[in-house]
């Protein structure tokens, strides 16, 4: 598992971590509505055939987009043909939702491996 930060100057290096990647955890700030389009664009550009768990962070703050329907809609996930994805609300501050998201990703990877016979 790699944890690569999202600063703009680091994004060109993301692809170096991607070969042979089964799953991708993509974190968005669910309070920063202005950057949703930027995040959506970056996710689309990054995607290969990875499974996607999108963490809608800062759910502990007032005004956060309630996951999963609104966040999935804003991120255009329903338009991602051929990708399995899951949206999980979380709070990095409290840890809420993190274990559930990792469990869901593990479940998705297991199912894909079973389907592929690997």
What residue numbers does the annotated binding site for GTP cover?
Answer: 6, 57-60
| Coil vs helix vs strand at 36 | helix
Say which residues have a Cβ less than 8 Å from residue 16's Cβ, sequence separation at least 6. none
Is residue 7 annotated as part of the catalytic site, yes or no?
yes
CB contact at 8 A, 15 and 47: no
Q: Please name the residue that has the structure tokens 């987009």.
A: 65
Catalytic pick from 7, 18, 81, 88?
A: 7
Catalytic residues: 7
């Amino acid at each position: 598992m790699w944890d690569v930060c999202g600063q703009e100057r680091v994004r060109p290096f993301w692809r170096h971590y991607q070969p042979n990647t089964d799953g991708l955890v993509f974190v968005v700030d669910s309070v920063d509505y202005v950057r949703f389009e930027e995040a959506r664009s970056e996710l689309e550009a990054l995607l290969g055939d990875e499974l996607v768990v999108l963490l809608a962070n800062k759910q502990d703050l007032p005004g956060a987009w309630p996951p999963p329907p609104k966040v999935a809609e804003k991120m255009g996930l329903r338009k991602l043909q051929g990708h399995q994805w899951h949206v999980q609300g979380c709070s990095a501050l409290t840890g809420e939702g993190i274990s559930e998201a990792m469990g869901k990703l593990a479940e998705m990877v297991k199912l894909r491996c079973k389907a592929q016979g690997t």
